[in-house]
Amino acid sequence: MSHDWEGLVQEDRVHRALYTDPAIFNAEMTKIFGGTWVYIAHESEIPNVNDYVTRKLGLRPVIVLRDSNNILRVLYNRCTHRGTTLCRHEKGNARAFQCPYHGWNFLNSGKLRGVPWADGYSADIKDEKFNLAQAPRVESYRGFIFATLNLEAPILLNWLGPMTKPIDEWLDRNPGGKIVVCEANRFKYKGNWKLAYDNSSDGYHVIYSHRSLLEMENRLSDAANKGMAYYKNSPDSLAMYVQYMGNGHHFKDKRPNLQARPGGLWAIESTHPGKEYAEAEFRRKYGERADSLLDLAGSEPVNINIFPNLSLLGNHIQVFQPISVNETDAVWYGTRIEDVNGDIGDALGTINALRMRTQEGFPNFGEVDDLANFEQIQVGLQCEEDEWIYMNRGHGIPDRIKTNADGTITAPATDEVFMREYIKEWKRLMKGPTPLSIKREP
Amino acid sequence: MSVGAQDPSVSSFYVNDSFYGDLIARFQDWDHDRHGICDPVERDGFRLLLEREARFLDQHKYDDWLAMLTRECVYWAPARPGGGDPRTEIAVMFDDRRRLEDRVFRLRSEFAWSQAPASRTVRMISNVEVFEYGEMDRRMLRSNFIINEFWDNEIRQLVGWCGYDMQNIDGRWLIRAKQINLINCDRCIRNPSIIL
Ligand code: FES
Ligand SMILES: [Fe+2]
């Protein structure tokens, strides 16, 4: 199969086929969700030796684990005998996985430990071809575990490039620079996975797609400045911005809109269960420190979007999981904090409880509306003669978009420059040869 | 304990540490046979109450529904089987009085795209059991539900069971806490935007 990639991805528009063609989707599962680094799990989900979670790398079922020697591995969840999945649980702790079909038994290094009635084999059952396949490269950046099947991909740190700065800042605002994943708001939508990635830095949709949320959040206050209300008037003239960071990554930074002081974040936090209790309690007990404690429960106004499937926003770790050309799972993992330095003390419980409630707000009252819009894009794109999707906001306006010394590109918050740029990286990966490989324990 | 006379529709003082502690204790290990109430009259009274609740929600009579809950109520759909701990884990939904009114406000705005047009629902309630809980003015209920939801030209089913913490106030039974346990609560769900 070959596509006219230059024709499909143009300067200011892309062809509907990117979202509707099953052949393109299949190629993406190889070339993108195999050929580049893909986020696969967070280390806090598998903190102990032998802990595992089951996930997907593209469409490949995998077991992400910390093996008996404390090595992070992404094993194919596929028995080397006749192909069944070995592990059917979401998470657990196991030194070995025994196949439920004929009982082949694998260590969590992927090595075949034994088979029932081994004397029935003339083949050498110790041959490495019987060990489980696994991703040849697994790397972690500050707890975020990525995998790729591409031996020629740059090391993770270089691939993240300037993205490490917003990631570091996102982590370092928490005690000890540490967060712990703690359940999730989990969504499914009938649409292509890129609809979610297209949305991740989209500052243009906020006041329309999220109008019900913005009105809801501000229904009780006259000031009407909670949540994302700063998008209301002239968002492009505000200090917030969108930045293309290379390798398909992009970053929406709304922090410059805040008052630069402890409590500046909390000041725009909308209403949540327990909010007034925590505020009153912290001010009474902790005085001056109350503001910075409350900020820990507040929703950090950034969107850190790591191509192709990860988005850090608010306090969430959002992951896009393609299912088919027109079906995607979007999981909003919550995060809590720990009192790493021992200076939070008995405020920790209240902060985390409030942090859970602030995190449930947007998925419940905002994301559902975006997802409805994604689904309706997929429906609209069935108009096959109307071929183009425009992402031309900000395009061709002199002095609107700046290329920085480090090669990143900065633009006003509602610009679609991030889409125009990331899709070039998508095109590069789709066009190129993809030397994928797996490895097995020797 | 709530502070002073704050209106829970406006500010949320009652969702505090002891509120969470009580809630978790209450929804732990409560549906034992030894606490079961077999009296058919009492059971039928609660069955009627739950059927009425289902009808209010099917008919989008949200004010009537909200009036079935205590002022300092909670509506809680855990994100994992067994409930988990809402203090340290994300829930599918965890609403206090104000957030429930937010939810209703949003549904009534013309801009809730996930509900434009709105879902049509028919709820089936069954397996209603009544349990003693502490004082005579308190009861726990357990019921199973199927919500048949018509949305985007499809009918789907949301299935699970609910636990209710009930309190009799001035001769009326009100819902202090409703725990909604979807059987697929820890999986991806399409458009979870109706009130369960
Ligand atoms: S398929 Fe696994 S042992 Fe046969
Ligand atoms: Fe959005």
Say what the ipTM of the complex is: 0.96
Q: pLDDT tens, A246-258?
A: 999 999 999 999 9
A37-141: CATH superfamily: Rieske [2Fe-2S] iron-sulphur domain (2.102.10.10)
Token reading at B98 = 């104000």
Domain containing residue B21: CATH number = 3.10.450.50
Domain boundaries, chain A: 37-141, 162-429
Instruction: For A7-59, list the strands marked E by DSSP.
Output: 13-15, 38-42, 51-57
Ligand 1 and A86: CB distance under 6 A:
no
Burial label, B102 (beta-carbon count in 10 A; 0-12, 13-18, 19+): buried
Q: B16 Cβ partners below 8 Å, 6+ apart?
A: A274, A277, A281, A350, B1
CB contacts < 8 A, A to B, total 145
Which residues form the domain of B140?
Answer: 13-182
CA of B135 to nearest chain A CA: how many angstroms apart?
Answer: 27
Tell me whether the CATH fold assigned to A37-141 matches the one assigned to A162-429: no
Q: How many angstroms does the Cα of residue B33 sit away from the middle of ligand 2?
A: 47
Burial label, A139 (beta-carbon count in 10 A; 0-12, 13-18, 19+): middle
Ligand 1 and A101: CB distance under 6 A:
yes
CA count, 13 A, side-chain hemisphere, A296: 25
Q: pLDDT tens, A50-98?
A: 999 999 999 999 999 999 999 999 999 999 999 999 999 999 999 999 9
Q: Which atom of ligand 1 is nearest to the CA of A82?
A: 1
Residue from A256, A254, A272 nearest A359 by CA: A272
Residue B85 within any structural domain of the chain? yes
Residue B47 within any structural domain of the chain? yes
Q: Which ligand is located closest to the Cα atom of residue A116?
A: 1
Q: pLDDT tens, A1-40?
A: 579 999 999 999 999 999 999 999 999 999 999 999 999 9
Write down the pLDDT at residue A232: 86
Q: Is A330's CB within 8 Å of B188's CB?
A: yes
Number of domains in chain B: 1
Q: pLDDT tens, A121-169?
A: 999 999 999 999 999 999 999 999 999 999 999 999 999 999 999 999 9
Q: What is the CATH code for A162-429?
A: 3.90.380.10
Q: Is the dihedral of CA A360, A361, A362, A368 positive or negative?
A: positive
* pLDDT above 60 for B119: yes
Contacts with A334 from chain B: Cβ below 8 Å: 89-90
Instruction: Mark which residues 56-85 of B lie under 8 Å from A by CB.
Output: 74, 79-80, 84
At A231, is the pLDDT very low, low, confident or very high (cuts 50, 70, 90)?
A: confident
At A224, is the pLDDT very low, low, confident or very high (cuts 50, 70, 90)?
A: low
* pLDDT above 60 for A414: yes
Contacts with A350 from chain B: Cβ below 8 Å: 16-17
| Mean residue pLDDT across chain A | 96
Is residue B120 within 8 Å of residue B150, measured between CB atoms?
yes
Q: B106 Cβ partners below 8 Å, 6+ apart?
A: A212, A213, A215, A216, A365, B112
> Taking residues B118-124, what's their average pLDDT?
98
Q: pLDDT tens, A400-410?
A: 999 999 999 99
Write down the pLDDT at residue A1: 57
